Amino acid sequence: MLALGVTLVLVTSNVMQDQARRDGVALARSIESYASGSVPEQAFTVGVLAPEDAARVTAQVDGFRELRRLRMWTVDGTLLYDSLADATGFPDGDRLDAATRQREPDAQLVTEVQGDEFGGTETTLLDVYVPVQHGGVVVGAAEVMLDYQGTSDAVASATRTVTLVVAGGLVLLWLLLFRTVWNASRRLQSSALENARLALLDSLTGLPNRRMLADRLERAIADSHATGTTVGLALLDIDRFKDINDSLGHDRGDELLEQVAQRLRGDLREEDVVARLGGDEFAILFPDVLSVADADAAARRVRQLFVPPFMLGDLALHVDTSIGVACLPDHADDGSSLMRMADVAMYTAKTHRLGVSVYSPEEDDSSPARLVLLGDLHRALGVDDELQLHYQPKIDLRTGRTVGLEALMRWRHPTRGMLPPDLFVPLAEQSGLIHDLTRYALRTCVAQLARWSEDGDPVPVAVNLSAHDVTSHAVVDVIEELLARHDVPPALLEVEITETALVSDPSRVVPVLERLSEIGVHVSIDDFGIGNTSISQLLDLPVHGLKIDRLFVADMAGNGREGSEVIVKAMVDLAHSFGLQVVAEGVEDAATAEALRRLTVDQAQGYLYSPAVPPDRLRAEDLPRDRGARHAVTSVTHESGRTPQGATPSDR
């Protein structure tokens, strides 16, 4: 700031001095033009000025108050005229030569002393040599001496004023910056303390985060080593939380997480630590339990906290959880291993719909186990007796008749038994095997269609395609080839895609659906209501039906809450206004089925009517002989495979 101020003062001072000097030079030029106009050209040649010419020069310049002295010189330095009437004198030869040679004035400040050496006064003069030209030829120079003292004093005064203003401004600026920095420093200190606190807490729920949990876990483990006690850790995950987020919105999802945090924090012991690890995953640290059985019992009490519904505005939402429990030293020796074991147990609870699961080495599907499972899936795709399709009836809610089947994929593993899609479909999607899995399902379904047609029971089939399949026209080529090979009419086949797959990449998905529609294959939207499809998209899509996601259907169970029915009714009316057929999946009780019938839903399926069974176990009434039922739907599911309430994964 000081350097900036000094620079500003110096620059301003130099600018003012240069301007004052330019003004003086301009005045000297003017005086020279008046004076030289009265001097004959030959006077500069002979070096003599007549008295009458000198008098005219004096008269011409008499009115310039700033003029202190005027002398006129020839090119060789001869004095022609002196306003002070000196007969002789000598010019400044260098400056005279410079002015006459360069044809530009040469100005210089000089100091004139008047009076005694110690009692006289000093006056600043501007001495300017101005070239004199006649006919474009320089014939001499006029030395103009101007009183510059007033200008010099004015420049000095202005410089002092600028210096004071700049100094004052810099002082004020410094004070302002000092105050700003001081306040900012105090705010930063306060913010740093707050950030240090928040670094250990979850911003949404206010619970301890993963970092604080790790610290508390290490302390609990250290105490357990000293006292010989058991440390329990439970990891809790909200089931189908993504569907809740997608269907109700992230704001409602955050509201649910906050309510979950309040229940957990309010109903556990003071010494227990409840933490949010991220997303919908929570952790509960039991620093002092008597045994694994006690930790298991505590986790089951925690799960009971989720029995009452959560109120999200006017909507009462029932939420299930999956909890995994692990203990130290029974299952792990350190905090990191304990976290991993609890996570494995939680995955087991979620996969097998157990609610609460204690860690078991037999259920530990860690990375090596997943690689083994992936290798087994490669092998299963090459044999004929492991991957199977089971069928579940679809019921017309107006007549109660079976109007179609949904085919669901199963894997009969040679050592692990019947595996649900939850275990192997995500693995297939991650590894790229999903395309082979889809082609296996297509081959099996079309072949089954051909067999039913030969038996006189043509059952329409719809294939549920993965999001990875519907981004390429290759799947259409496969369908066309299979239909032609087995001589199956395209009208007997329908494909289903999830709404989330549709909205994820519509520019690539829609052309595939349009081509399927062109060849006569019907298209339906599965899991409708969770993918945010716009009305304009639905209007323009080549689809003939949609299936309401089971989240909305399940929420209608029991007392049939008005909020849930309003949502379902809105979707039904929207679909019917576009001429689309509506199917509800996951119907598990008669009350829900009756509510759906009142809402004019066309078809329903679920464990209320029948579990999924192999084709040879289908009832006769589940195989309609009426060829008018061609547009009934059978779909192959190779998604996550949600198990109906009351059903086991093998019934899926």
The Cα–Cα gap between 533 and 506 comes to 10
Query: Which residue is listed with tokens 């995994």?
Result: 324
Average pLDDT score over residue span 524-530: 81
Q: Which residue has the tokens 């008669």?
A: 590
Closest CA to 531 of 555, 509, 503: 503
The confidence band for 42, taking pLDDT boundaries of 50, 70 and 90, is confident
Maximum C-alpha span of the chain: 146
- Whether domain 2-154 has CATH 3.40.50.880: the reply is no
pLDDT band (50, 70, 90) for residue 257: very high
pLDDT at 459 over 80: no
Give the pLDDT band of residue 134 (cuts 50, 70, 90).
confident
| Residue boundaries of the structural domains of the chain | 2-154, 210-364, 368-637
Q: What is the pLDDT of residue 633?
A: 43
pLDDT of res. 226: 87
Rounded to an integer, the average pLDDT of 44-49 is 86
In single-letter form, the type of residue at position 323 comes to I
Confidence of residue 628 (pLDDT cuts 50, 70, 90): very low
Mean pLDDT of the 120-131 span: 87
Q: What would the 3-class secondary structure string for 243-257 be?
A: HHHHHHCHHHHHHHH
Pick the range with the lowest mean pLDDT from 63-72, 232-241, 302-311, 449-458. Answer: 449-458
Note the pLDDT of residue 641.
Answer: 39
Q: Is the dihedral of CA 561, 563, 567, 570 positive or negative?
A: positive
The pLDDT tens digits for 97-119 are 998 899 999 999 888 877 665 55
Question: Mean per-residue pLDDT for 26-36?
Answer: 89
- In 199-234, where does DSSP find H-type helix? 210-227
Helix (H) or strand (E) holding 159: helix 149-198
Residue 323 CA to residue 345 CA, distance in Å, equals: 7
pLDDT number for residue 198: 67
Cα 79 to the chain's mean position, in Å? Answer: 86
Task: Place 479 in a pLDDT band, splitting at 50, 70 and 90.
Answer: very high
Most confident among 68-72, 239-243, 636-640 (mean pLDDT): 68-72
Euclidean distance between CA atoms 237 and 260, whole angstroms? 11
Q: For residue 270, what are the contacts with CB-CB under 8 A and spacing of at least 6?
A: none
* pLDDT score at 368: 63
- Residue 648's pLDDT band, with cuts at 50, 70 and 90, is very low
For residue 130, pLDDT over 90 is answered with yes
Task: Give the N- to C-terminal CA distance of the chain in Å, as an integer.
Answer: 77
DSSP 182: H
For residue 58, give the H/E element and its range: helix 51-61
Mean pLDDT of 150-172: 87
**Average pLDDT, integer, range 209-228:** 90
Top-confidence range, 361-365, 500-504, 626-630:
500-504
Helix (H) or strand (E) holding 106: strand 106-114
pLDDT bucket at 221, cuts 50 / 70 / 90: very high
pLDDT of residue 120: 64
Q: Residue 12: pLDDT above 60?
A: yes
Ramachandran category for residue 569: left, alpha or beta (phi over 0 → left; psi -120 to 50 → alpha): alpha
Phi-psi category of residue 85: left, alpha or beta, with phi > 0 → left and psi -120 to 50 → alpha? left
> Is 430 a residue whose pLDDT tops 80?
no
CA–CA separation, 77 and 90 (whole Å): 7
| 460 in Cβ contact with 633 (< 8 Å) | yes
The letter for the amino acid at 201 is L
HSE, side-chain direction, 13 A CA sphere, residue 269: 12
Residue 505: what pLDDT? 73
368-637: in CATH 3.40.50.300? no
Tell me the backbone φ, ψ of residue 600, rounded to 5 degrees. 65, 30
Contact 321, 239 (CB under 8 A): yes
Q: Please report how many Cα atoms fall inside a 13 Å half-sphere around the Cα of residue 458, on the Cβ side.
A: 15
Say if residue 639's pLDDT is above 80: no
Alpha-carbon distance of 217 to 277, in angstroms, equals 13
Query: 6 to each of 12, 56, 586, how far by Cα in Å?
Result: 10, 50, 82
List phi, psi (to 5°) of 507: -65, -25
Q: Say if residues 295 and 289 touch (Cβ distance below 8 Å).
A: yes
Q: How far is CA 438 from CA 160, 177, 387, 635, in A?
A: 89, 68, 12, 12
Q: Span 124-132, mean pLDDT?
A: 92
* 235, pLDDT greater than 90: yes
Residue with tokens 């439970």: 234
Q: Residue 124 pairs with which residues in a beta bridge?
A: 111
Rounded Cα distance between 83 and 231, Å, is: 113
Beta bridge mates, 147: 125
Residue with tokens 């059952």: 459
Asked whether 252 and 205 are in contact (CB, 8 A), the reply is no
**366 CB-contact burial (10 Å; exposed 0-12 / middle 13-18 / buried 19+):** exposed
The position carrying tokens 């192999």 is 614
Please give the share of the chain, as a percent, with pLDDT higher than 90. Answer: 25
pLDDT tens sequence across 548-560: 888 888 877 755 5
Distance CA 412, CA 385 (A): 8
**Do 368-637 and 2-154 have the same topology in CATH?**
no
Each residue's pLDDT tens digit, 345-379: 998 888 778 899 999 876 665 556 677 888 889 89
- Residue 85: the pLDDT is 81
Strand partners for 32: none
Q: Does the structure show a pLDDT above 70 at 326?
A: yes
- Interatomic CA distance for residues 102 and 389, integer angstroms: 106
Residue 346, CA atoms < 13 Å, CB-side half-sphere? 24
Residue 181 has which token pair?
């920095």
**If you average pLDDT over residues 296-300, what whole number do you get?**
92
Beta bridge partners of 393: 405
pLDDT at 533: 65
Give, in order, the Cα–Cα distances in Å from 411 to each of 28, 368, 381, 455: 109, 20, 10, 27
CATH code for the domain defined by 210-364: 3.30.70.270
Q: Which two tokens stand for residue 34?
A: 């008046």
Residue scoring higher pLDDT (356 or 463):
356
pTM of the model: 0.46
How high does pLDDT run on average in the chain? 84
The predicted model gives 583-598 an average pLDDT of 90
